[in-house]
Chains A and B, each alone.
Chain A
């Protein structure tokens, strides 16, 4: 129970006060009416006595009567029996009283902390107290108790009457008639001879004062000085009012009464209609309808609300003719009446009753108890008896009541107790209950408290009232008293149970108030029961709303909400929110309603779809109404949810993907998913570009360009946007509801922050999208003007549902990623900044678009294709510094101007749209090689970055240029992702954005074509034998070409058209193919072997490394390998293979460069004939093979091996050179006559001169040891060799200068004719500067046979 203003004692005392009736003459009534009051009302503010009274009890003990209050009322006669329930009018009055008593705005509520709940509510409930007071006052008088029976009667006559004494007589007779005639059951009178007190009312303003005094003297004579009084009043004349402000003590007593009678008839009856349902039911079905009807009711309510004000204005004139002196007079009068008239009267009566009772009790002992048949007025209560007024039990009760009224509680208790026993024994339940109730109350009020409060008396009384007597009014009174008493004793739990038990269906208002008090009981317990508090508040709220007390209902729900809020009891929360919304709406608080409804929609709902749609409809309706009321500010919409962090921002135009045949650069689009790896890759490429543009140094403040910002990109800095280029913002919406939402007219709101006065500007498209519990991404673009500004975060959403369209906004607030750097970051939740939507707009920048023409998607490995690329400057600023970098630099080439041949191209190449430049050659020159010297600088670029050779190196605004682009299919089959990054910058300087980039990604599907394997081996032919060649030794190149193309369908055959070489030291000499077929054809799975001879180039004079290109064409057209496409790709290939080889063992590289001086043979230009759609297509291509060492096979398909070398790099460099290599240091050959005829008959010894030619193939000095002695390992070989012997010097030690050829003349001696193998000399060679340990035998493998004939 809530706290009260009054203390318990005060409250209980005031509940039972002596009642005084008033009978007024008409004239007296007129006098008081001047003050807008009747006489009873006039006295009412002064009815509490401030001074103490004294009286004697039957035992002559002096009893002090403190703080006594009397209740003065006009006599209202009625013939009816008192009802057991409140009349309709009475309950209406109570309703009005409660309605008019609302918690004041701004009153400080107290905060109760219970567990983890902080509840904020007002501890006092003045409406309840007012209700209680009014309820107790309106208690009907009943027969079983006398407390509210009239004890005395004031007879009031005005002094202006002609004969006042006659009037007094008349009134006295009237009173007697009312009391004793039996015509009226109401009012009831306490004692048969009621105290009559004669009051002469004198109007000072009009009456003759002396006459009044005279009459008063006469009255004193007649009624005794203690039985009459002269009340002078109305000192102020009516006209004099206005200049003096007199306090108006009547207003608080009377205003309500006036309200009762006049106002609120229509409104309350209409209000209580719609909300009758179970307290815990969401009354959805009637919802929309009810809201509409309630809208109509509101206007009525408003009318009603205006009325009391006008009435209050009229009521303000109470006591207009009374001065403060008059107030004092009235107060004195009451005091006089009470102490001189009433108290002695009561004292006398107690004495009488006491005597009477004493004798009666004796009599009762003697007589059998009298039973009377049950009265016809109480047909239902069969057990209750009815006593005649003079029955002794009632006399006891009467005495008890009298004692109680004059605060003699001890005597009262004993009397009640006695009476109770009697009534119980008589089974007079109503009487017994009354006695029990009062016994308990008087026991409680006894000052010394000699006995504990008999709570069970009360319980029995309540039960009896309610169940036996069906008298809810009495039961309620009893409950109110008991609850208050229990509360004062701290028994909140009992009080709550009591109050809850008292709720019933018959009175919503009572139930509501009692439930609310019960809720307060729960929260006031020692261990506050928060949830019970909340639950009962909800029940109370429901009953309030049923009783038409909307404001109270709303307050209850709001208080309960504090407990349910945000604790994931969503179903309950939704219900409360819904009710709050409805109540707020009907109370014309649309803001509150919107908030409440919004809450339902914001939370993750457990409701069904139909209910959600109802909620939504209700919300939209309320929202719309609110918008009509306050159209200025655009409120936030709760739906759909914006997934802020998923917002993506895209700078620039939406890219066209293709334009006719032209294929635009892919660049970045919103369709692409963000991928960290590819982002890193692009960033790396851009770094290369920027480094190339800045002479190899990446600037410190380099930041990779970000075209599309999302949650994963680095959004710490303000993004730079270029003026007059669009920005596309992609917002992700989510609809948490189970029903679909329609959105229309979406637009972005944005705000300049350039100047002090930022005009909020709005621009954008209208799109329509429907979401249904899914994520919807949609782009909205904004064209940017100039200045620095922030794209602010408003979005206008029109939600359409049915026909209802509401207009609102939602903020775009992007929170940065959670910080996790410092310790504080880790311990708290901190978020970084996200500047995705805060742009800085910069001055105009060039904008380039790139288109590709004839760009293939599939290529054969090594295929060369010519495509075109078009660069367009679509902005109004010139651009320059065009560069490109790619992940596959060997894939493409822009060609090089330096090598453009002057000779005209052959007609066939033009015909076939060939990528190559060809020259027609005479067929006979096929075996001869063409040579051309080219310096590497013409082709190679310093890094992977390639400058794009456009004319004048700038592109003017609107200008576009087309460049050829050669592509070569990657060497490996499969799908290759090839990324290009184009770089350009503005011609103007000092921009915030230093450069711009454009991305392009292509996917090339490479299919297998030919596999080329090449090997070089030393020619056995000594140099001087070779035809007219003076250079170093010849080398044989073997090339194995295999068609490994798998597709049977299209590819028919490959033609090997030309083999070219490029090297710094070597050149192709001629083709020595045994089969002289020219154009080498290869169909599927065929293999061919080509054989070439290579020779060493003439030594070059200048220091610049030049490459010798030699072409050997097998067909009749020569492809100029040193010119643009071929040469470019050759050098590209070099660069990549070199860069891959950097990790190879250094010793080996140095050695081989010394001996063989890096040889690159590249070869095989090929033509593939593809039949496609019955049309013969000629594809061209080239394959590269790098030859580095003699004898080792190199393949065009070797990148894997290169990777393996990396791992070998960890090995220590080999100490001993491989023998195979050394064995080739020195070439030996034997020269002798093939047949030799010798007459063995004449001379048994045949000596044949043999010349041993030693040639040093290397560029180093070589020590050679020649040992001619046979050194067989087995006897057989010894035997064979013993057939001839070397004669002369058999061991030589020589030194061979680089490339020196030396002839040694040896002599072989044969003993008989036959065939001999002369190849027995063992040659040991080693490089001169190397250790002796490295000697290795130079064995010639092939036998050198000599025929010795016998002549």
Chain B
């Protein structure tokens, strides 16, 4: 179960951040923002060697005391970040991966909406639904 799901634009500003309402939202903002450094580091490390065949899923970005932060970068450099509770050991890498894929698909749908202005905050019920599903789902 994810506790926070974020979509970050290419220019590193948030397009979408949702976190579990019971917890301190600000903390997740900081966590997600800080994780961007790692994302950039990973992209720059991988980008050179593999070129186009880059794996979108970046894996565990960094663990904190309470959370694990996972990252995923689309080809257009839009970043997805999922924060998972550390205590939750049931989630495997594969599950995280599929969560990201689902998120990416939904994000693509949002972008395909002709009324969506790329670069705006994501305001889509469908996307909200997917995200809420991921935040409840396995919990």
Interface residues of A (CB under 8 A from B): 115-116, 278, 280-282, 522, 527, 529-532, 534-535, 538, 564, 567-569, 571-572, 575
Choose the segment among B20-28, B70-78, B87-95, B110-118 that binds chain A (4+ C-beta atoms closer than 8 Å): B20-28
How far does the Cβ of A1315 sit from chain B's closest Cβ, in whole Å?
89
Closest chain A CB from B62 CB (angstroms): 9
**Measured between alpha carbons, how far is A529 from B33 in the docked complex, in Å?**
11
Query: Which chain A residues border B29 with CB–CB below 8 Å?
Result: 569, 571-572
Complex Cα distance, B41 from A522, in Å, reads 12
Q: Say yes or no for B53: interface residue by CB 8 A criterion.
A: no
What are 29 contact pairs spanning A and B, CB under 8 A? A116-B11, A278-B24, A280-B24, A280-B26, A280-B30, A281-B24, A281-B26, A529-B38, A530-B37, A531-B33, A531-B34, A531-B36, A531-B37, A532-B37, A534-B34, A535-B30, A535-B33, A535-B34, A564-B33, A568-B14, A569-B29, A569-B33, A571-B26, A571-B29, A572-B26, A572-B29, A572-B30, A572-B33, A575-B26
Q: Are B30 and A529 in contact (CB under 8 A)?
A: no
Q: Which residues of B contact A532 (CB under 8 A)?
A: 34, 37
Q: For B24, what are the chain A residues with a Cβ–Cβ distance below 8 Å?
A: 278, 280-281
| Chain A, Cβ-Cβ closest to B31 | A535
Give Cα distance in the complex from A568 to B11, angstroms. Answer: 11
5 smallest CB-CB distances across A and B, nearest first, come from A529-B37, A568-B13, A535-B34, A280-B27, A531-B37
Tell me how far the C-beta of B35 lies from the nearest C-beta in chain A, rounded to whole angstroms.
Answer: 8
CB neighbours (8 Å) of B44 from chain A are: 527
A282 to B26, CA, bound (A): 9
Report if B12 contacts A (CB, 8 A): yes
Of the residues B25, B30, B36, B41, contact of A527 by C-beta under 8 Å? B41
- Given A280-B26, A571-B25, 10 other A-B residues pairs in contact with their CB atoms under 8 A: A280-B27, A281-B26, A282-B26, A522-B37, A527-B41, A530-B37, A531-B34, A532-B37, A535-B33, A564-B33
Chain B residue contacts of A564, Cβ below 8 A: 33
Distance in Å from the Cβ of B129 to the closest Cβ of chain A?
21
Roughly how many angstroms separate A567 CA and B36 CA in the complex, as a whole number? 13
Interface centre among B25, B26, B34, B44 (most CB of A within 10 A): B34
Residues in B neighbouring A575, C-beta threshold 8 A? 26
A569→B41 contact, CB < 8 A: no
B109, CB-defined interface residue at 8 Å: no
Question: When A281-B24, A282-B26 are in contact, do A569 and B37 touch as well, CB less than 8 Å?
Answer: no
Interface SS of chain B: helix, strand, loop or mixed? helix
B105-131 toward A: CB 8 Å interface, digit per residue (1/0)? 000000000000000000000000000
Chain B residues whose C-beta falls within 8 Å of the C-beta of A529 in the assembled complex: 37-38, 41
Inside 8 A of A278's CB, which chain B residues have their CB?
24
Given the known A-B contacts A531-B36, A571-B25, are A538 and B30 also in contact in the complex, defined by CB atoms under 8 Å? yes
Q: Are A569 and B13 in contact (CB under 8 A)?
A: yes
0/1 string, B29-51, CB within 8 A of A gives 1? 11001111110110010000000
Please measure, in the bound complex, the distance between the C-alpha atom of A548 and the C-alpha atom of B54, giving whole angstroms: 48
Closest to A282 in B: B26
* CA gap between A571 and B34 in the complex, in Å: 14
Nearest Cβ on chain A to B120's Cβ, whole angstroms: 11
Given the complex of chains A and B, what is the CA–CA distance between A575 and B40 in angstroms?
25
Chain B nearest CB: distance from A576 CB in Å?
10
Least Cβ–Cβ distance between A532 and chain B, in angstroms: 5
Min CB distance B121 to A, Å, is 9
Query: B26 near A567 (CB under 8 angstroms)?
Result: no
Cβ contacts under 8 Å, B26 to chain A: 280-282, 571-572, 575
A116 to B35, CA, bound (A): 17
> Counting chain A CB atoms within 10 Å of each CB, which of B14, B27, B33 scores highest?
B33
Q: How far is the CB of A1022 from chain B (nearest CB, A)?
A: 81
Looking across the interface, which residue of chain A has its beta carbon closest to that of B39? A531
- Residue-wise, chain B 54-70 has the 8 Å CB interface mask toward A (1 for contact) of 00000000000000000
Alpha-carbon distance A530/B29, docked complex (angstroms): 15
Interface centre among A529, A530, A569, A575 (most CB of B within 10 A): A569
Residues from chain B with a CB closer than 8 A to the CB of A116 are 11
Rounded to whole angstroms, the CA-CA distance of A281 and B30 in the bound complex is: 11
C-alpha gap A567/B35 in the complex (Å): 15
Which residues from chain A contact B36 at a C-beta distance below 8 Å?
Answer: 531
Measured CA separation A282–B24 after assembly (Å): 10
Q: What is the chain B residue whose CB lies nearest that of A564?
A: B33
From residue A287, how far is it (CB to closest CB) to chain B in Å?
15
Query: B13 — nearest CB in chain A belongs to which residue?
Result: A568
Q: Among the interface residues B13, B37, B38, B40, which one has the most CB atoms of the partner chain A within 10 A?
A: B37
Cα–Cα, bound, A534→B27 (Å) = 14
Cα–Cα, bound, A529→B26 (Å): 20
**How far apart are the CA atoms of A567 and B34 in the complex, in Å?**
13
- Cβ–Cβ < 8 Å partners of B25 in chain A: 571
Pair B34/A527 contact, Cβ less than 8 Å:
no
Q: Are B30 and A567 in contact (CB under 8 A)?
A: no
Chain B residues, CB < 8 A from A569: 13-14, 29, 33
- Give the CA-CA distance A937 to B130 in the complex, in Å: 82
Q: For B41, what are the chain A residues with a Cβ–Cβ distance below 8 Å?
A: 527, 529
Task: Looking at the assembled complex, report how far the CB atom of B65 sits from the nearest CB atom of chain A, in whole angstroms.
Answer: 11
User: Complex formed: what's the CA distance from A531 to B14 in Å?
Assistant: 14
Please, which residues of chain A bring their CB within 8 A of the CB of B34?
A: 531-532, 534-535
Residues of B within 8 A of A534 (CB): 33-34
Q: Are A527 and B13 in contact (CB under 8 A)?
A: no
Taken together as a complex, chains A and B put the C-alpha atoms of A994 and B38 apart, in Å, by: 71
Contact A567 B12 (CB under 8 A): yes
Q: How far is the CB of B103 from chain A (nearest CB, A)?
A: 20
**Chain A proximity mask over B1-20: 1 for CB below 8 Å, otherwise 0:** 00000000001111000000
A582 to chain B, nearest CB (A): 15
Q: A116–B11 Cα gap in the complex (Å)? A: 9
Residue of A nearest to B45 (CB): A527
Cα distance A1284–B16 in the bound complex, in angstroms: 110
A534 to B41, CA, bound (A): 16
Considering the chains assembled together, what is the distance between the CA atoms of A282 and B30 in angstroms?
13
The complex places the Cα of A281 from the Cα of B23 at a distance, in Å, of: 11
> A571 — nearest CB in chain B belongs to which residue?
B29
Most interface-central of B11, B29, B36 (chain A CB within 10 A): B29
Give the distance to chain A from B44, nearest Cβ to Cβ, in Å.
6
A575: nearest chain-B partner, CB-CB: B26
A914 to B36, CA, bound (A): 88
CA distance A532 to B35 in the complex (A): 8
Q: How far is the CB of B81 from chain A (nearest CB, A)?
A: 12
In angstroms, how far is the closest chain B Cβ from the Cβ of A82? 32
Shortest Cβ distance from A533 into B: residue: B37
- Within the complex, the shortest CB–CB distance from B135 to chain A, in Å, comes to 18
Q: Could you tell me the distance between the alpha carbons of A535 and B27 in the complex, rounded to whole angstroms? A: 11
In the assembled complex, the Cα of A280 lies from the Cα of B29 at a distance in Å of 10
Q: Which residue of A lies closest to B25 (CB)?
A: A571
A531→B31 CA distance, assembly (Å)? 10
CB <8 Å contact, B40 and A527: yes
Question: In the complex the two chains form, what is the Cα distance from A198 to B25 in whole Å?
Answer: 68
Taking a contact as CB atoms under 8 Å apart, the answer to whether B13 and A567 are in contact is yes
In the bound complex, CA of A278 to CA of B40 (Å): 28
Residues of chain A lying within 8 A (CB to CB) of residue B13: 567-569
Measured between C-beta atoms, what is the minimum distance from B39 to chain A in Å?
10
| Residues of chain A lying within 8 A (CB to CB) of residue B33 | 531, 534-535, 564, 569, 572
Cα–Cα distance between A530 and B38 once the two chains are bound (Å): 10
Q: Considering only CB atoms, which chain B residue lies closest to A117 in the complex?
A: B12
Docked Cα-Cα span, A534 to B36, in Å, equals 12
C-alpha gap A535/B35 in the complex (Å)? 10
- Complex formed: what's the CA distance from A1342 to B134 in Å? 100
Residues of B within 8 A of A572 (CB): 26, 29-30, 33
Which of chain A's residues have a CB closer than 8 A to the CB of B27? Answer: 280
Q: What residues of chain B lie closer than 8 Å to A282, measured between beta carbons?
A: 26
A178 to B11, CA, bound (A): 69
* Residues from chain B with Cβ under 8 Å of A530 in the complex: 37
| A615 shortest CB reach to chain B, Å | 14
In angstroms, Cα B13 to Cα A1009, docked, is 70
Complex alpha-carbon distance, A340 and B10, angstroms: 69
Q: Inside 8 A of A571's CB, which chain B residues have their CB?
A: 25-26, 29
Q: Which residues of A contact B35 (CB under 8 A)?
A: 531
